[in-house]
Structure 1
Amino acid sequence: MLSLNPHTKSNEQQIVLHVDMDSFFASVEVREKPELAGLPVVVGADPKRGKGRGVVCTCSYEAREYGIHSAMPVSQAYKLCPDAAFLPVNIRLYVQVSDNVMEIMKGFAGKFQQYSIDEAFLVPGPDIKSFEEAALCALRIKDEIKRQERITCSVGVGPNKLIAKIASKFQKPDGLTIVRPENVQDFVFPLDVSKIPGIGQKTTEALKLMGITRVEELANCDIQRLTERFGKMGLWLKQAAHGLDFSEIKESEGAVKSISRSSTFKENTNDPVKIAGYLELLAESVHKSLVKHQFLYKVVTIRVRYDDFSTYTRSKTIPVWTSDIFVIKRTAMQLLSEFIGRQKIRLVGVGVSRLRERDARQTLITDFT
């Protein structure tokens, strides 16, 4: 299941990756507040010393050791661990980090589907033809997210979305689990039925009343018995228990709002040449994505994070719609000049927004702006 078999012939098989950020909101908060590293962190409503009325949005793995979990009343979480750091939800920050993470993943994807703010499915590009190569691709994704955003993720690799999603949660946090087609039943059969995405608490309890608690028991259950109890869902339960999933990767709907790239220096620096060099490489990566998706942009934005983790953004609106890489570089450098020489910089980023699809009639105009 987890070993790499060099004899696996998977060039004709679908390979799906599911990338799931680890305790996403809490991880971002710890990144912004390093003094919280290793401590129980709870993101959600104010507990008001045990009298708060909201719920826990997410919590760190340290907090989970006290029995705290998502959707738990925050008053109960306070009683379980009154010394935890209780933080309010900063959704704007999480969305920005999510956008950055999704852009990283898209760079490795042939097909991409964002599933939520902190998880996504992808089919790797055509150069990935085996599960061995997919494992290396998953490691590169993990490394790139950790390098650029300083948070971790867990990745599941499987022959379909269902197995990849189950696998991504198998070795959290910071895990990587590979499940090849020939090992699917060995992987899923020992699991509790609640581990199958889509089987909630009510269905789990209903199956338990039927004497079914493990996936293998569900797989061996008579289909007629399942359909009598669950209707059409009975067939899906039977298929899922056998690790079957025929759903496709659906490209995320809705217009792309922005394209951005960022990079964290290995060592904080105030060297203007080094900083400018990084910014130029990031601009080229942004432009490559623009060309791939045939977008024009109207706004250029940079992001700067100093060594004390204070973070600033600056934007400039361009007079005309364009796809010109030199406009990105020139504008980014102009915006960056404000921050050079003040103190050491930890991270720089550049992005474009106000996007629209290129019109063929605009090609000559935009390419030479």
Structure 2
Amino acid sequence: MSEQAAPLRRERRTFALGLLAGVFGLLLVPTCTSCGGADESQAETRPLVLSTIGQIHDIASTLAGDDLRTEVLLGAGLDPHTHRPTRADAARLTAADLVLENGLHLEALLHATLDARRASARPVVAVGESIPAEQRLAVGGAGALADDPHLWMDPVLWAEVARAVARELSDLAPAAAPDIARRLEGVLAELAELDAYARRSIDSIPAERRLLVTAHDAFGYFGRRYGIEVASVQGISTESEASVRHVQELVNLLVEREVPAIFVESSVSVRGPRALVEGAAARGHQVVVAGELYSDSMGPPGTYRGTYVGMLDHNITLITRALGGDAPAAGLRDRL
């Protein structure tokens, strides 16, 4: 063999060994990544708190900080009155260390799943029931009264719910209790600011126009707190249907009071409100759909309207301005 062939053979051998080493290294990468992920998963020991609706989740996640994990079952656009639990929902409800529901029959179709969890001695807390019965609104006809579950429409009542959530989180993670108490003070201050803004804004609407007409009866607590009459096309549940007679009564009310605007809701059909617009037009009175309110569902996640304060700020500002009151276009926080 020539002297020139020997170096060439060594170069080829070196190249082949390098190539094999590189391939072997690539094969190891997924294995190591997988091992690292498993270690991280095993290291996650913080309790998991699962809230059924966004309004509760927003409070729980703020109070929890980094001390607990928090998730929401029903995201933006989902209706808690009509949502049927999936297998994935059931698995999440089973896996959580604590489930926070509103209660008062809001999550009507989740009852069986939640009751099964209770039967297995896994904690489920209906935070809406922390509000004393005498402070809840009764809805329905004679002999069929029930409590209105839409407590979050009143930030003063929701402050009491925040206190109840803080107690549950502190029981679940006692070491974090001082931090949870500190965060609670911040939440309560925000809710007091929101309440003051709502009162100031709604008070600026001319008295004869203080009529809030919406798709379904979710604003009773809001109306009671801020002195605005509330009427709706549907009843307390989005499953109810409006009669022709009821629609005509609402049209008469809009015409007589010269109310300029009605509202749709983010998680409810717009069919009913449109019937009101058409009925008023037939009577020679122009009514516009002023915009979309958030009722059972909050805004998109990761946005200001996707927070409890942002949701109500949006509602208060839109209602006030549409009915002739005085509120800044950008809302309480200049974020709308």
With structure 2 as the length reference, what TM-score do the two structures score? 0.24
Which has the larger helix fraction? Answer: 2
More strand by share: 1
Q: Which has the larger radius of gyration?
A: 2
User: TM-score, normalising length from structure 1?
Assistant: 0.23
